[in-house]
Structure 1
Amino acid sequence: MVLISAVRDYINRMLQDISGMKVLILDSHTVSIVSVGYSQSELLQKEVFLVELVDSIYKSKEPMSHLKAVYFLRPTSENIQHLRQQLASPRFGEYHLFFSNILKDTQIHNLADADEQEVVQQIQEFYADFVAIDPYHFTLNMPSNHIYMLPAVVDPSNSQHFCDRVVDGIASIFLALKRRPIIRYQRNSDIAKRIAQETAKLMYQQESGLFDFRRMEVSPLLLVIDRRDDPVTPLLNQWTYQAMVHELIGIQDNKVDLRNIGKLPKDQQEVVLSSEQDAFFKANMYENFGDIGMNIKRLVDEFQQISKSNQSIQTIEDMAKFVDKYPEYRKMHGNVSKHVTLVTEMSKIVEERKLMLVSETEQELACNGGQVAAFEAVTNLLNNESVSDIDRLRLVMLYALRYEKESPVQLMQLFNKLASRSAKYKPGLVQFVLKQAGVDKRTGDLFGNRDLLNIARNMARGLKGVENVYTQHQPLLFQTMESISKGRLRDVDYPYVGNHFQQGRPQEVVIFIVGGTTYEESRSVALQNASNSGIRFILGGSVVLNSKRFLKDLEEAQRIARSSTAVI
């Protein structure tokens, strides 16, 4: 609940203290923040009768002096400019201005100068500059996510903008939690180091007064790491509910767009998947696909029983009882339909793309050794007409990441085979992922080949077998959390920023992945938090990845790298 509660608390404070009819004015970032934290019906209960975007609100000249304008915006120069224009000829009776992060003094002066008619009632900073998609998982929804793969010299302006946005997002998390952390970063990542250092500068120098919270016995930890340390997790097919929906259909701000999957009723063309608003989803979001099917069948059976009981309406009293229950009945009907639709659609995709076959080989590549068998399995799948282009590409990438040093000849054979079989194959993309995230660039022991404990664990797992061959993979993040829990995160790999060191084991840890998180990793965090280890982990990233988005970022970075003279 921690992140969602923080955002909801800010929105409540924004809306409940302003009486009367209101218009809520947002920007492209804060619209995501609010839509994930608050439902439309809740906004109506707070007398919000209109929601508009700040860059389009002044296109209408119609005065609405009976409405009070509540602005919730990121403190960007563009938003300040929009506000200045709107305050110059105000349409609303009152203006209440809330910003999702730290305002500069110059911005406050600019707004004061523009408020000639004195319609602004208040200006406040409410630190909700992140999208809280789950209680312990947040994203910054950064559109130009590929920037993290490029050296700063390639595109200095966008690189700085990327870093500034990440620093802002991390700062707002700690302001919302009322904490100032000790900061560590992944040593071999220039961008992780830069973000960690700029965050420390903001918290300990530029805005030290703002972060001067009550000291804890052991300070919280902020760990900044690079997606390229684990390129395997975003390349894998997923078989637990939330992660699978994102991989096969896509989730954006806890909404799933189903308009392209055939004729559905209008109210099912976009559905909400939120652990806060859907009890069935909350109970099943981390369950595997086989169990989900059985659980949905139970949900359908339960609904049918209720439907039958509702069919026996004999008297006025029966009718009155049904009408009383009708909103809950409708809600349950919508919920059952939603989950049946999602599972049916995913089953179709799994069958069409032969994903059970593909995924078994992916998991073998990610979790077990055996180069000869792996080469044969990948070759067979490349020759299989039912396997899609994107699945062929992912298989060759996974093989390359696993065996780049062991089998250069076979790797070249797979490159050639991929190029001949796949019309959409982008030349050099597999080589580019090796340049970005190959074994020489990674800090962690991604495949458990170097660490004796991991080797023993893999051997034991191989002997015992695993409960489900499709979900045997554990992200590298799992090992990182284990290392933190046991006080074994190596200083040489994850140095501290400045002279601030951790004394003892932290009880609160925020791990930020530059380049994006996955729902498989957020599941690991939720399970770790449920294990009562005494440490609360929060996971954040620049975006939420699936394989499609990860490959798109790789392609975009490769395109820019090729057109640049810089050496990547």
Structure 2
Amino acid sequence: MVLVSAARDYINRLLQDISGMKVLILDSQTVSIVSVVYSQTELLQKEVFLVELVDSISKSKEPMSHLKAVYFLRPTLENIQHLRRQLANPRFGESHLFFSNILKDTQIHILADSDEQEVVQQVQEYYGDFVAIDPYHFTLNIPSNHMYMLPAVVDPPGLQHFCDRVVDGIAAVFLALKRRPVIRYQRTSDIAKRVAQETSKLMYQQESGLFDFRRTEISPLLLIVDRRDDPVTPLLNQWTYQAMVHELIGIHDNKVDLSSIGKLPKDQQEVVLSSEQDAFFKANMYENFGDIGMNIKKMVDDFQQVAKSNQNIQTIEDMAKFVDNYPEYRKMHGNVSKHVTLVTEMSKIVEEQRLMLVSEMEQDLACNSGQVAAFEAVTNLLNNENVSDIDCLRLVMLYALHYEKESPVHLMQLFNKLASRSPKYKPGLVQFLLKQAGVNKRTGDLYGDRDLLNIARNMARGLKGVENVYIQHQPLLFQTMESIIKGRLRDVDYPFVGNHFQQGRPQDVVIFIVGGATYEESRSVALQNASISGIRFILGGSTVLNSKRFLKDLEEAQRIAKASTNVV
């Protein structure tokens, strides 16, 4: 069972057994959980005539006793308080309470005490406390994602809240999969260790009965790693379809906001990019940009053929046939318009921001060695007024991550050039990145032993003529998966929690990246799952990163760290 079908199954179950007109009441996080796996049309088919947020329901006084309230909420203190008030003065004929994670006994007692008018028909736990954006990729959409970079002394309450949300999300995934894993973590990361230990405590002590599923010969593996072990991947421009849309325009809960682009019709100002709902996107989400252009042209040609045949309506039978096919025709028209708009907009951004020039250098910094040539090339781009300030910042960061130990003088020259070019991007942010994710902090081998492999791989690509310089890079996650497949993930680098060890290769592996995953990494997971390794990988993260979000988290963590230092 993959994550999308697990989440859909929960939503199906909480809606289908309650007959009659319903209002679905969600919170700010469960609205994401539902929206990525269920469309508005499907909700209407289940007789859901209204979708409301729980806090807006609290503000309204209008009685709606003809509707049945179906609540699907995270079991947070805030949501329990909303429910307590709403049950004390019920507006709906009956209420059905579903929670996306484990309820505490105290919370159940509060709800029971509040239901004086006995409108509550049932209270259930449906473990869908994750956003299943793709079959093998989930996110937790944590807004305060920068917390993973802060030492515990800076903001203990905020950091604990962050850890609690990560543990809750991981627990829900395994409850949905009906498995209990052995747990490993990245040794060099305090936050990965903390999350791993708290997850283990929940699964093996506090809620051991809940996780006591039928044993399998080899337990699944949960591996918790830190985003800072691979800071390169979220800094790169992307050239495969899904990752590129997120980098250049932005995707949130499988939706793309196009309202700022020209004069689009209202129904095209927000479009859905879901592999479950869009066959063209599913077939092309991991293809590179050049192939996407050709595939969209073919889709346009096919649509024009369909449109032309519809123009030849000459008989009543032709007209009846067209009316029957009209919904499919409209859907096809909308899909063509959506993908043409996206690719046209991205082509414009690539041209305006000179991204082919910038990206070629980025890939070189990520994949190849040669410090002197890299320094000269980055210097030339910093002198190019057509290259944006943020691209210059990312280039200096990529250079610094690769060559921080090789030539401090060159690095300082780039810092000074960046600072003189734009006061907004002071070199302090690059230095903060090195402090957070420099070579002394990382477990994985981002550069060292890979140079020879890269040369061989690039030669092979050149011979095949299939790949191009813009998608040479492979995230560190790819190496990690290969190590797991070959049984070579070193215990010293990725220790087990407690006394739980693994004999043999796991068949199911969940890799969770504290600090966020990228669509480039989810592509690696999907391609790996399509191979015949016999292991199924699932990728999770505290958010879905692009370079803007990664830099925003870095800036916020730097600001808080600096403020706490000044206070001390």
- TM-score normalized with structure 1 length: 0.98
Shift of 1:455: 4.3
Q: Which amino acid aligns with 1:146?
A: H
Question: Residues 233-261 of structure 1: CA distance to partner in whole angstroms, max 9, x if unpaired?
Answer: 00000000000000000000000000111
1:18 to 1:462, Cα distance in 2 relative to 1, 3 A: closer
Counterpart pick for 1:456 among 452, 458, 462? 452
Q: Which residue in the other structure is 1:329 paired with?
A: 329
Whichever residue aligns with residue 162 of structure 1, its letter is: F
The 5 A counterparts of 1:31-46 are 31-46=31-46
**Map of 2:492 onto structure 1:** 492
Overall identity of the aligned pairs, in %: 87
Q: What residue in structure 2 maps to residue 533 of structure 1? A: 533
Structure-1 residue corresponding to 2:340: 340
AA aligned opposite 1:201: K
The alignment partner of 1:123 has SS state of: strand
Is the Cα contact below 8 Å between 1:22 and 1:49 reproduced in 2?
yes
- Aligned residues of 2:99 and 2:124 also touching (Cα < 8 A): yes
CA contact (8 A) 2:22 2:47 kept: yes
1:237 corresponds to: 237
- Alpha-carbon offset, residue 465 of structure 1: 5.1
2:196 maps to 1:196: yes
Deviation, structure 1 residue 487 = 0.2
User: How many Å separate the matches in 2 of 1:513 and 1:315?
Assistant: 60
| 1:230/1:476 contact within 8 Å kept | yes
Rate the CA distance shift 1:275–1:463 in 2: closer, same or farther, 3 A: closer
Counterpart for residue 123 of structure 2: 123
Q: CA deviation at 1:566?
A: 8.8
Q: In 2, distance between residues paired with 1:360 and 1:509?
A: 33
Aligned residues of 1:23 and 1:48 also touching (Cα < 8 A): yes
Taking structure 1 as reference, are residues 465 and 380 closer, same or farther at Cα in structure 2, changes over 3 Å only?
Answer: farther
Whole-Å separation in 2 of the counterparts to 1:462 and 1:371: 19
Quote how far apart the aligned CAs of 1:462 are.
4.5
Which residue is equivalent to 2:17? Answer: 17
Q: What RMSD, in angstroms, separates the aligned Cα atoms of the two structures? A: 1.2
The reply on whether 1:168 has 2:168 as its aligned counterpart is yes
Report if aligned partners of 2:416, 2:427 keep a CA contact under 8 Å in 1: no
Cα contact 1:389–1:423 (8 A) shared by 2: no
Aligned with 1:387: secondary structure?
A: coil
Mapped partners of 2:519, 2:567: distance in 1: 33
Alignment correspondent of 1:400: 400
How do 1:349-388 residues align onto structure 2 when only pairs under 5 Å count? 349-388=349-388
Distance 2:423 2:308 in 1: 53
> How far apart are 1:58 and its partner, in Å?
2.5
Partner of 1:302: 302
CA distance in 1 between partners of 2:336 and 2:188 (Å): 48
Other structure's SS at 1:318 match: helix
Deviations 1:392-449 (A, max 9, x none): 00000000000000011010000011111124314400000000000000000011x1
Which whole-Å CA distance do the structure 1 matches of 2:238 and 2:555 have between them?
A: 22
Residue aligning to 1:516: 516
Paired residues of 1:354 and 1:386 also in contact (CA < 8 A): yes
Name the count of aligned residue pairs. Answer: 564
The Cα shift of 1:464 comes to 4.0
Q: Report the AA paired with residue 456 of structure 1.
A: L
Q: Distance in 1 between matches of 2:460 and 2:533?
A: 26
1:406 partner amino acid: E
Mapped to 2, the partners of 1:484 and 1:456 lie a distance apart of 22
User: Within 1, Cα distance between the matches of 2:282 and 2:504?
Assistant: 34
Structure 1: 5+ residue stretches without partners: none
Letter in 1 for 2:506: P
In structure 2, do the counterparts of structure 1 residues 339 and 14 end up closer, same or farther at CA, with 3 Å as the change threshold? same
Residue 565 of structure 1 aligns to a residue in which SS?
helix
User: In terms of mean alpha carbon deviation, does 313-322 or 69-78 score higher?
Assistant: 313-322
Q: Report the equivalent of 2:135.
A: 135
**Residue deviations 1:57-83, cap 9 Å, x none?**
132211111100000000000000000
Cα distance in structure 2, aligned partners of 1:460 and 1:316: 64
Cα distance in 2 for partners of 1:357, 1:424 equals 23
Task: Give the aligned residue type for 2:518.
Answer: T
In structure 1, give the amino acid aligned to 2:234.
P
Matched residue SS, 1:37: coil
1:504 and 2:500 are equivalent in the alignment: no
TM-superposed CA distance for 1:457, in Å, is 1.4
Q: State the match for 2:250 in structure 1.
A: 250
- Contact 1:154/1:566 (8 A) holds in 2: no
- What pairs up with 1:549-568 in 2 under 5 angstroms? 549-565=549-565
Q: Distance in 1 between matches of 2:436 and 2:59?
A: 45
Aligned partners of 2:376 and 2:38: how far apart in 1? 51
Letter in 1 for 2:269: Q
Structure 1 residue runs of 4 or more that deviate by more than 3 Å after TM superposition: 462-466
Q: CA deviation at 1:317?
A: 1.3
Cα distance in 1 for partners of 2:59, 2:186 equals 47
3-state DSSP class of the match of 1:133? strand
**Within 2, Cα distance between the matches of 1:61 and 1:209?**
41
Alignment of 1:80-119 (within 5 A): 80-119=80-119
- 1:480-519 alpha-carbon deviations (Å, 9 max, x no partner): 0000000000000000000000011000000000000000
Q: CA deviation at 1:461?
A: 2.6
Residue of structure 1 in register with 2:548 after alignment = 548
Q: Are 1:404 and 1:411, in contact at CA under 8 Å, matched by a contact in 2?
A: yes
TM-score scaled by structure 2? 0.98
The SS at the match of 1:539 is strand
Asked if 2 retains the 8 angstrom alpha-carbon contact of 1:95 and 1:120, the reply is: yes
1:351–1:455: structure 2 CA closer, same or farther, 3 Å change rule?
closer
Shift of residue 133, structure 1, vs aligned partner: 0.2
